[in-house]
Structure 1
Amino acid sequence: MRFQFRVRKMENSRVLFSILYWLCAFLFVVGPAEIKSAGITVENLFSSWIGREDVDFVNFHIKRLSFTAAVHSALPIGYFLGMTCVSDSAANISSLFNGSLEFGWQLYVCTSILLHIAVLTIIFYWSMDDWSNHPIVKDISLYVNHRGSEVARSSWRVRGNEISNEFRRIDKYATSYTGWSRLIVTENWIMMTALYKVRLVPQDKVTLAVMQSEEHDISPESNSMVQFLSLRIKPTVSPHLKPFYVRILSTEFKELKEAVMRSILTLPNISILQTVDEMFLKAFREHIHSNRSFSSLTPVEQCIGCMQNTAQIKLVKNCDSSSPCQTCACRPLWCIDCMGRWYASRQDRTRPETWLSGNAPCPMCRAKFCMLDISVLASN
């Protein structure tokens, strides 16, 4: 029994270490907002070598991509080294060199080392000839050559300094992070930064299109409804260049349109909700249509808010008796959109995540009502 308990304890310690290590590695690589705010990122840990984005944008991302690839490819080796510290683990450094290490561990270590060496070899190739083989430099050099022969390929830093100078200006447009991706628009350039890549293209050599929209009831940052737009950015300097995609918040779309020189194509089946009120109205319509409907025995009049639509809703107390909501005696007078705008106007503007669970007074009799009390007329 004691032997079985000891074996089980050894297995538990190895399993626990494996779970903790790979969980921490996943959080380190993916980098949620809490990890980024704590400074546990490659660019913060190696800031003395990488530099600062707001000082030299191009060189910062050249080094960031290189350090990120090197550090992330070393994580499997770190797992083996960590397992050597776990008591009674089969992973042992001395066994690695004398050939007595288990075959499974030998295969794992060899694969991990080969992966790390391959990544370091790629980084060394990037750094040759003043980083002229780096993907970022190739992007810049392509447009340097296209714009004229006065700047040779080896002098890509001239154009890179122009990009960095534009990035330092306060009038640039930059979206908030969606994961690791971010879109930046300066006077002459459109740039996308991600975990393992950076794309740069001049504003006059690109087409932009909104390809897809995604709506989520809850955003991790604001706990309210959010809409993401998928943008396709296609360089036009060569048909062989592949487009790249970036996700932005719909509330940032208006600023993006003002920042770019080109018009942004939007597919006809995509509805862009550019304000918090528009997103709330969409959620408002969906919620009240799930409520109990109301059959009106009197003729339905025009909405007194817009005078364009017929009245579409009636306030009927449907919520719990313990709620502060009251009975409204008014006849149907409002359309869905006008009532939704009135309801939103009575909520705390700083906390949109609480709007659906709030309440508002009736525009006419001032009786309190909540979302459950809004009944759509049966004919609607």
Structure 2
Amino acid sequence: MLAHGLLPLGYYTGMCFAAPEKQLFYFYQASEGWKIFFLLAILVPTVTGILAYYWSQNGWDNHPLARTLAFHALPQSGWRAVASSINTEFRRIDKFTTGAPGARVIVTDTWVMKVTTYSLHVAQQQDIHLTVTDSRQHELSPDSNMPVQFLTIRVASINPYVKAFDIRLNSTEYGELREKLHAPIRNAANVVIHQSLSDLFLETFTSLVEINQTYPVPSNQELEPCIGCMQTNANIKLVKNCHEPNEGECQQCYCRPMWCLTCMGKWFASRQDQQHPETWLSSQVPCPTCRAKFCILDVCIIQ
């Protein structure tokens, strides 16, 4: 915090050299705006310095972090014992960690923690209730061209001194988190959690096929159950729509409708390179029956 408090003063000093025409070296010759900025640049580190001095009294017992940890201390011990326990478990390689540096989530055998730039949320596993409260679906993740689902989980403690807090994680990490937690996670919002890349792809595959050209089935043709799941009638037909008949790698499929959309999506995902998910949407796979190559644009829902 002290370092951040010195940033405005550092900026002012840098501008003294970068813009000498503003005469910032001479306070009384600077404009009113820069005078106010300079006073604030002096005030901020002064206040943070005083605050840091207050926190350091009584062996840092006044520090907000020490007070947070003290809520979990046993009557005969103090916050340092809690800090030592957290430090010991944090060094183990089996801890669960996720999130950006500014909002890091750490789960050890005993503790659930959320570390932000200026705060620390801590709860003991034996005291908490966890609830999935929200889900956000993003079409593209920063790391790949695949869709990603982020879950928001509310961590509430039975300790009245511990405030509830939210943790956010990728749905693909949900299973690993559950393995590390001792308490179950309730799904109060009835969120559909996609725990694998294939689950996320299947949802995107379905949404893309739904905007494709439909296939009008002849009135005299009776649809049979999907040969993949036998749970629903076949509802898709492979028709080459991506290019002209003799262009591209895709081929015309002459099979009758035999698959449902879900099973075809699972087949499409199973034929992909698992190490390169960014290529899945643009790739071609063989028809599961006749082996004619097709892409997502060729999958048509039966009308």
TM-score (norm 1): 0.76
Aligned-partner Cα distance in 2 for 1:130–1:80: 35
1:279-309 CA distances to partner (integer Å, 9 max, x unpaired)?
0001011000010011111111100001011
Aligned-residue offset at 1:105? 0.8
SS of equivalent residue, structure 1 residue 233? strand
Structure 1 gap segments, 5+ residues each: 1-68
8 Å CA contact 1:294–1:375 kept in 2: the answer is yes
> Could you tell me which of 266, 271, 283 is aligned with 1:341?
266
Residue correspondence of structure 1 range 202-213 to structure 2 within 5 A: 202-213=124-135
CA 1:86–1:268: 2 relative to 1, 3 Å: closer
- The size of the alignment, in residue pairs, is 299
**1:118 is matched with which residue?**
47
Q: CA deviation at 1:90?
A: 1.1
Change (3 A) 1:158 1:88: closer
Give the match's secondary structure for 2:29.
coil
Q: Which residue of 2 aligns with 1:284?
A: 205
Q: Which amino acid aligns with 1:70?
A: L
- Does residue 1:89 correspond to 2:21, yes or no? yes
Deviations 1:316-339 (A, max 9, x none): 000023321000000110011110
Deviation at 1:375, TM superposition (A): 0.3
CA RMSD of aligned residues (A): 1.5
Letter in 2 for 1:303: C
SS in 1 for 2:72: helix
For residues 210-229 of structure 1, what are the alpha-carbon distances to aligned partners after superposition, in whole Å with 9 as ceiling and x for unaligned?
11111111111223211111
**2:183 aligned residue:** 262
- Name the residue aligned to 2:168: 247
Taking a change above 3 Å as real, the CA distance of residues 218 and 129 of structure 1, as seen in their structure-2 partners, is same
Structure 2 Cα separation of the partners of residues 231 and 271 of structure 1: 14
Offset, 1:201: 1.3
| Rounded Cα–Cα distance in structure 2 between residues aligned with 1:179 and 1:141 | 25
Partner of 2:85: 162
Judged with a 3 Å threshold, the aligned counterparts in structure 2 of structure 1 residues 182 and 352 are, in CA distance, closer, same or farther, namely same
Q: Give the TM-score taking structure 2 as reference length.
A: 0.94
Q: Is the 8 A contact 2:226 2:234 kept in 1?
A: yes
Query: Would you say 1:73 and 2:2 are equivalent positions?
Result: no
Q: In the alignment, does 2:147 pair up with 1:225? A: yes
Matches within 5 A, 1:49-198: 69-93=1-25, 95-96=26-27, 99-144=28-73, 148-151=74-77, 153=78, 156-175=79-98, 177-178=99-100, 180-198=102-120
Distance in 2 separating the partners of 1:87 and 1:192: 42
Asked if 1:370 is matched to 2:295, the reply is yes
- Paired with 1:331 and 1:173, the residues of 2 have a C-alpha distance of 49
CA distance in 1, matches of 2:121, 2:76: 23
Deviations 1:19-63 (A, max 9, x none): xxxxxxxxxxxxxxxxxxxxxxxxxxxxxxxxxxxxxxxxxxxxx
- CA offsets, 1:59-113, max 9 Å, x none? xxxxxxxxxx2222222222211111124431422x12xx232211111111122
Deviation at 1:179, TM superposition (A): 5.7
- Measure, in 1, the Cα distance between the counterparts of 2:180 and 2:204: 29
More helix by share: 1
**Structure 1 position 265, deviation (Å):** 1.3
- In structure 2, the residue matched to 1:29 is none
Q: Secondary structure at the match of 1:201?
A: strand
| 3-state SS in 2 of match to 1:129 | helix
The one-letter code sitting in structure 2 at the alignment partner of 1:376 is I
CA distance in 1, matches of 2:232, 2:212: 21
- Paired residue for 1:305? 228
Query: Structure 1: how far apart are the matches of 2:284 and 2:56?
Result: 61
Q: Is the 1:189–1:202 contact (alpha carbons within 8 Å) kept by the matching residues of 2?
A: yes
Shift of the alpha carbon at 1:242? 2.6
Distance 1:125 1:368 in 2: 71
Contact 2:136-2:151 at 8 Å conserved across structures: yes
Following superposition, the deviation at residue 134 of structure 1 comes to 1.8
Asked whether the equivalents of residues 80 and 91 of structure 1 are also in contact (C-alpha less than 8 Å), the reply is no
CA contact (8 A) 2:134 2:189 kept: no
Structure 1 residue 206, shift from structure 2 partner: 1.5
Compare 103-112 and 274-283 and name the one that shifted more: 103-112
- Distance in 1 separating the partners of 2:89 and 2:62: 24
